[in-house]
Structure 1
Amino acid sequence: MELIIIIIGVLVAVFGASVYYKGKRTNELTLIYSNKLIESTANECVEMLYLGKPTSHFVRYEITLFNSGNRDITPSDFFPEPELAFHFNDLQVISEKAGFANEGTVPHYQIESPEVVVYFERLKPNQHMTVEVLTGSHHDQLTPPVCDSVLRGGHPVKLHHQLFDQADAHKRYRHLTKHTALMMLSFAIGTTGLFTGLYSKFQTYFVGKQISAEQQFIHFFSVDSLPWLAVSIVSIIALLYSYECLKVISPKFRRYKFEHLIQNRD
């Protein structure tokens, strides 16, 4: 029984370490966008044409390309073509205007209808570059951009709609804070339970006693009572739960912080 518990514990530790190491080195790019409908203010004597048809709607997109992973990204990391490109379905790209870019990225945007191709040197983790794109439309619907570029390893470019809504931002912050508190509570329960169990064993079998190392090992990993076993299982489950919560919450907090940077950078 004790040997089985030890083997399971070792396997869980090895699995957790492998997952953690794999998760620490990932390629991930997030395309964060906001779009705004622009209606023409031209008088009745002026007719604007889009693809040969009268139109009165334009959509302005602000695109932010954010390295949300923890590896440097270069154009050669994309496939099947070694380039990053995005388009807007049935919208025609009219113009583009480069915005902010971190030092060393050196972005260059080129309209290759119907796509906007992004050429850059290197995008390091937590770096970003922005571009403003004006598109023409026959309708007044706001649609997200489309990015078919895929990072090596099969990681698609993630889309995230940037909403500059203070009430929504506060709501998400409270949501993240609540889950962070739950994660910390689980971690505290897990560590306290394990520490209490191990400390009680230490006081019972080791303090004031002279026993061999083999006997110490046997006593240390032995199951002396069902309550101790239950406390150990609950503690391990709580620690695993806090670890999974950390994996989910960390990128959300990073994205939340980045959104505030974008919103307040001016």
Structure 2
Amino acid sequence: MLRTPAQWMAASDADAGLWIRQADSVLAVSLFGDPARRLKDALPRHARAQTTVLAFDGEAGLSLMSRSARGGLHDFSPELLRELSTEAPPAAALKAAQAHAAASHWLAARQLWQAGCADNTAALFAHLLDPTVALASPQPEPTLRLRVGRRELTDAGASGNAAQLGLKAQPTVVVLDLSNMDSMVPAAVCQRIEQRGQSCVQVLTRWGGASREALERLPSCLRRPSRPRWWCCGLRRGRS
């Protein structure tokens, strides 16, 4: 069962409690504010003892409620968990996580989610649905993807090859989004723009340093036959 923060907040207390009671696993990603507070209140009251809870990239207190058959994070340092949530966790935090069974599992699951792409997401869901299925190692995905319709260029192949995407010598709208999010959203935005006769390209990359690098590389990626006209940066789950 998938629920957005808005759907979670719109649910009655009875429905929200029923969802939690029926769940074998609860996955909460990038949950902040009232939705996070409501889940933090609901989990102790409704989750079964054997229910796996996995929360990350959101409210710190909610992440600390993560638990599995390997134990919980209640005795793990909140500061170390914050450091593990950064783009490049320090060595000391990684060492502490490896020495803590629950933290090691949490970190491995988060790394699998952060790796993005359908295969990695499917592997995480398979583990949450059946904990006897071992967590797979993340499969690498491109750090930069340029896409027009179903045509796509990645990483080094994206530089100077915009013509392969069918872009013509005219102003081009650039839609920037995260590559590990729902790709249907930027695709739909570009489709609407193209229906108005304007050229559009999707730039899909990762959060943090990869996004900065993508912006720096963009002029070379779109150098002839097209040039960006304006930007559309999607805002989702507290990120831009």
TM range (shorter): under 0.3
Highest RCO, 1 vs 2 (Cα 8 Å, sep ≥ 6)? 1
If you compute each CA radius of gyration, which structure gives the higher value, 1 or 2? 1
Structure 1 or 2: larger strand share? Answer: 1
**TM-score, normalization by structure 1:** 0.22
